[in-house]
Amino acid sequence: MKQILDRFKNGLHGFRERSHQKQFVDAVMAAAALVALADRDHRLSELVTRDRVLSRLGELKPVSVRDAVETYDRHARALIDDPDRSRQEIFKLLGEFSGDSEEVTTLVRACLAIGHADTDFSPRERSVVEQICGAIGVDPGELGVYDI
């Protein structure tokens, strides 16, 4: 019986970890959509960079690319249809990741990659990344927002 309960406990830990990973990928995709649409110029280069970010995340954690792209698309559509409400929802989601330095750093770097994808890190994109840093409780300067 103890073995069965131990397996159940380990399974729950794995479930919690996978659930957290999915939430993190969702947060990265939401933030990426927010940055990509910040200057109202949603370019192919930003989508290609999104896919590269997903590829890198997949090297670190198991990622369902299809689900992640659907999440990105859902947030992008919502940002177009109802920008104020969508931004509030995204920032609420991002706020759940404040304090975890590895995930926070990864999330901001993904946003910077999207912002720089078209070689023009516009003031609007920079402002959105600054707001994201504020939502997750980090100093944008420490994570390279002002470096380039």
Query: Which stretch of 5-14, 40-49, 76-85, 120-129 has the lowest confidence by average pLDDT?
Result: 5-14
- Average pLDDT, whole number, for the chain? 84
pLDDT tens digits along 101-119: 788 899 999 999 999 898 8
Question: Can you give the residue ranges of every domain in the chain?
Answer: 2-143
- pLDDT at site 90: 97
pLDDT tens digits along 71-84: 999 999 999 999 99
CATH of 2-143 given 1.10.10, 1.10.3680, 2.160.10, 1.10.490: 1.10.3680
pLDDT tens digits along 34-53: 999 998 777 788 989 999 99
* Dihedral sign of CA atoms 12, 18, 19, 24 in order: positive
- pLDDT at site 136: 94
Interaxial angle between packed helices 44-60 and 65-81, expressed in degrees from 0 to 180 and rounded to the nearest 10: 140
DSSP track, 35-91:
HHTTTS---HHHHHHHHHHHHHHHHHS---HHHHHHHHHHHHHHHHH-HHHHHHHHH
The reported pTM is 0.82
- pLDDT at site 59: 78
- pLDDT at site 15: 37
